[in-house]
Amino acid sequence: MILSPTDALRELKEGNARYVAGAPRPWRANAELRAEVSKDQSPFACIVTCSDSRVPPEILFDQTIGDLFVIRIAGTLLTPEVVGSVEFAVEALDVKLVVVMAHSNCGAIRAAVSDLPLRGAVVSVIARLSSIVAIKKRQGFTGDELASEVSRQNTRNMLEQLPEQSPAIYDELSAGPIAIHPAYYDVATGRVSWTL
Ligand SMILES: [Zn+2]
């Protein structure tokens, strides 16, 4: 279902409120719905977020199969593959709302702000955050506050970089109506806040 950015945002806010209240809609991921969406998909929002097991967008926004186009990567990072996936959502699927959602207590962010030695391909994940970490450390942030600041700044950077790195996304934003919105998920309360 194609929704305007405003309606899509309202749907996500209402879904999160149901989730936080412990009053989700009746579970609808059944054979009937599967058959309904099997031929085609029309998700109403694209969510870019972390792979963290405590951050499942369909659950915390109280949505079901066919509703959300979800891109997950440890640390919520912007790689060419993530940019390409967002392009697919807005160009091919006509999604009008893209949400970039960071979260509290992120393991990848915590690894990026720690001085522990890392090895293997995970180093490239952490390296994408290193310049933000350096800036925030210079600004005097430490501990949990440093991790939170890095996470929020990374999200702000992603909002700017998405249209910069993708002429297709830039064109979609210029033509409108389409929105790229930040969000921050608190893994303890279950609440999504919509400002950074
Ligand atoms: Zn995370």
Taking each helix axis as running N to C, give the angle between helix 143-165 and helix 167-175, from 0 to 180 degrees, rounded to the nearest 10.
80
Each residue's pLDDT tens digit, 146-184: 999 999 999 999 999 999 999 999 999 999 899 999 999
Q: How far is the CA of 69 from the centre of ligand 1 (A)?
A: 18
Backbone angles phi, psi at 105, to 5 degrees: 55, 45
Q: How far is the CA of 147 from the centre of ligand 1 (A)?
A: 11
Q: How far is the CA of 38 from the centre of ligand 1 (A)?
A: 31
Q: Using the 8-state DSSP alphabet, how is residue 180 labeled?
A: E
Q: 77: closest CA among 154, 147, 161, 150?
A: 154
Query: How much is the average pLDDT of 1-7?
Result: 93
pLDDT-derived band at 103, boundaries 50, 70, 90: very high
Each residue's pLDDT tens digit, 22-78: 999 998 889 999 999 999 999 999 999 999 999 999 999 999 999 999 999 999 999
- Domain coverage including residue 14: 5-193
Mean pLDDT of the chain: 94
Q: How far is the CA of 154 from the centre of ligand 1 (A)?
A: 12
Q: How far is the CA of 175 from the centre of ligand 1 (A)?
A: 32
Q: How far is the CA of 62 from the centre of ligand 1 (A)?
A: 20
Identify the pLDDT of residue 8.
Answer: 98
Q: How far is the CA of 51 from the centre of ligand 1 (A)?
A: 6
Between 121 and 24, name the one with better pLDDT.
24
Q: How far is the CA of 101 from the centre of ligand 1 (A)?
A: 10
What CATH number does the domain containing 27 carry?
3.40.1050.10
CB 73 within 8 A of CB 21: no
Identify the pLDDT of residue 194.
Answer: 97
Task: Tell me: pLDDT of 121 over 80.
Answer: no
Overall domain count for the chain: 1
